[in-house]
Amino acid sequence: MNHANPPATPKCLWYTWDFVQRTRFNLNNIDIGALDAGDLAAAEAYEDAVGRCALTNMIVSDTSGRTAEQICGERAVDFGADVRAKAKALRPDREAVA
């Protein structure tokens, strides 16, 4: 491996990592007490986090590569079975939430 010119991180991998880190940051800043009290801003932050988790699952789980091409602008990265399973766990059970 040439350490002077390391291989570039695939754009889709970097984008997904950044997206997940931002989602984690947002989740950590949701005021659970305000959410339980029905605060609109907290509810919007929660819904945004749910949507971001769903998009993360789509990016990681789509083996056709279409989602990565649309969102990242390049071919998909094979995240592997372990990461796909963890991304699937991010999806809320809509029946349980409803």
C-beta separation of 49 from 41 below 8 A: no
What are 25-51's pLDDT values in tens digits? 999 999 999 999 999 999 999 999 999
Q: 29 Cβ partners below 8 Å, 6+ apart? A: 45
Is the model's pTM score more than 0.75? yes
What are 6-24's pLDDT values in tens digits? 577 888 888 899 999 999 9
Residue ranges per structural domain of the chain: 11-97
For residue 83, count other CB atoms closer than 10 A to its CB.
Answer: 14
Kindly list the distances between the CA atom of residue 34 and the CA atoms of 30, 39, 45, 48, 94, in Å, as whole numbers in the listed order: 8, 5, 11, 16, 22
Report the C-alpha gap between 78 and 12 in whole angstroms.
10
